[in-house]
Structure 1
Amino acid sequence: MTIPPPDLDVALWRKARRPELIARRLALSAEDRAAAGARITARLEAALAEAPARLVGFYWPFKGEYDPRPLVRSLHQAGVALALPVVVGKAQPLIFRPWWPGVAMTHGVWSIPIPAGGEPVQPDTLLVPLVGFDGGNYRLGYGGGFYDRTIAAMPIRPRAIGVGFGCTRLDTVYPQPYDIPMDRIVTDDTG
């Protein structure tokens, strides 16, 4: 882990980076986003072929994130079970509910679509969105700590793959003791 300079308020530094990094990915042109998305999809397909998953937890794209929906539709056709995260409360781990094309959906936190029902399931692989990331496989998320808290609470740790755009790479995210590194980061230029 990178030790921050003594005069750096890491929480404020991380808070200031988030809108900058989101703006970087939103600034991608439609053509660049499509090309980057295709490269991410190919890298994720290769990563999942190396160690096939039985149940993949993915995310619904938000604020210009990589869109995993074409990938997960393909996974569904191949017989892989899928699940989406659901926020059940502030400072609580996420739960995952089964998802498949056509499942009844409702709106969750920030109006992000979530499955309307279903018993919680335990993914063995998570595709985790990132706002930023560093070479130590640490990710900078939106600041709620949901994925770190969720991974830490799972009885069997899933394989966690951070997913995003290479333009959001940082030298360090100044990981904190509660931050859990991803097993792998996949972007349009790494993975």
Structure 2
Amino acid sequence: MNGTSADKADIRAMALSRRDALGADRHTQAAQALAGQADAIGFKPGDIVSGFWPIRSEIDPRPLMEALAARGAMIVLPAVIDRQTIVFRRHDPDMPLVTGSFGTRAPGPEAEELDPDLMLVPLSAFDDAGNRIGYGAGHYDRAIARLHAKGRSPRLVGLAFECQRVERVPAEPHDVPLHTVLTENGLQALPTQR
């Protein structure tokens, strides 16, 4: 493992340890705080917004996704196929979700695949420059690169608890910075906003 990968692993472990230590009440309050920011994240009715089904101790984006859908967003969820690739499938709340890799839940293969205009991105850690650390598998990095190759530039909104903020994330050439981060404290202005 090179220095940057080792550094990222240490930062990931530290930030996830802090996130794991949060109590259930904090999780519930944070999820509601995110939903209260639905109008602030910058989307238009009809935009395709990728959310995610929370795993482990992730901040819960489901109330936010419901608020966005109520305001006219079309919600898609990431589905991991072939253990390497994320596709985004339309989420219909009346349709059951299937369990996928890493304990994720997503619409099944019969759901329509769509490219998002805005991505709510899960993460392990983030810094004030908009750099993020995921879980180490590179799924979102590859998905974003694939969207860019198709001429798409979705707005990237990281979702996290404030305790996941770190002083510095070592960025690598393939890393795409977030446009903004939404925590329980609100939308964070980042220098990478474009």
Sort the TM-score into its range (normalised by shorter chain): 0.7 to 0.9
- Given that residues 83 and 99 in structure 1 are in contact (C-alpha distance below 8 angstroms), is that contact kept between their aligned partners in structure 2? yes
Gap regions ≥5 residues in structure 2? 188-194
Task: Tell me if the contact between 2:79 and 2:105 (Cα under 8 Å) persists in the aligned partners.
Answer: no
What's the CA shift string for 1:67-116, capped at 9, x where partnerless? 11122123223332110001123443x11010021213211102211111
Is 1:184 aligned to 2:176, yes or no? no
Query: Which whole-Å CA distance do the structure 1 matches of 2:139 and 2:103 have between them?
Result: 17
Residue number in structure 1 paired with 2:66: 73
For the structure 1 residues 104 and 35, does the alpha-carbon distance in structure 2 shift closer, same or farther, using more than 3 Å as the test? closer
Other-structure match for 1:17: 11
Matches of 1:190 and 1:138 in 2, distance apart?
18
Structure 1 partner of 2:165: 169
Which of 56, 59, 62 is 1:63 aligned to?
Answer: 56
User: Contact conserved, 1:21 with 1:132, CA < 8 A, in 2?
Assistant: yes
Which residue in 2 is equivalent to 1:4?
none
The alignment-based identity, stated in percent, is: 31
* DSSP 3-state at the match of 1:182: coil
Give 3-state SS (helix, strand or coil) of 2:35's partner: helix
What amino acid does structure 2 have at the position aligned with 1:180? V
What TM-score do you get using the length of structure 1 for normalisation? 0.87
Specify the alignment match of 2:25 in structure 1.
31
Contact 1:73 1:101 in 2 (8 A): no
Report the RMSD for the aligned CA atoms in angstroms. 1.7
User: What do residues 24-77 of structure 1 show as CA deviations (whole Å, max 9, x unaligned)?
Assistant: 11211222222233323323x1323x4325111001101111111122123223
Q: Secondary structure at the match of 2:112?
A: coil
Alignment check: 8 A CA contact 2:97 2:105 kept: yes
- CA distance 1:187–1:11, shift in 2 (3 Å): same
User: TM-score, normalization: structure 2?
Assistant: 0.86
Letter in 1 for 2:6: L
- Match of 2:156, SS state, is strand
Alignment partner for residue 97 of structure 1, among 89, 99, 114?
89
- Matched residue count: 181
Q: Does 1:107 align with 2:99?
A: yes
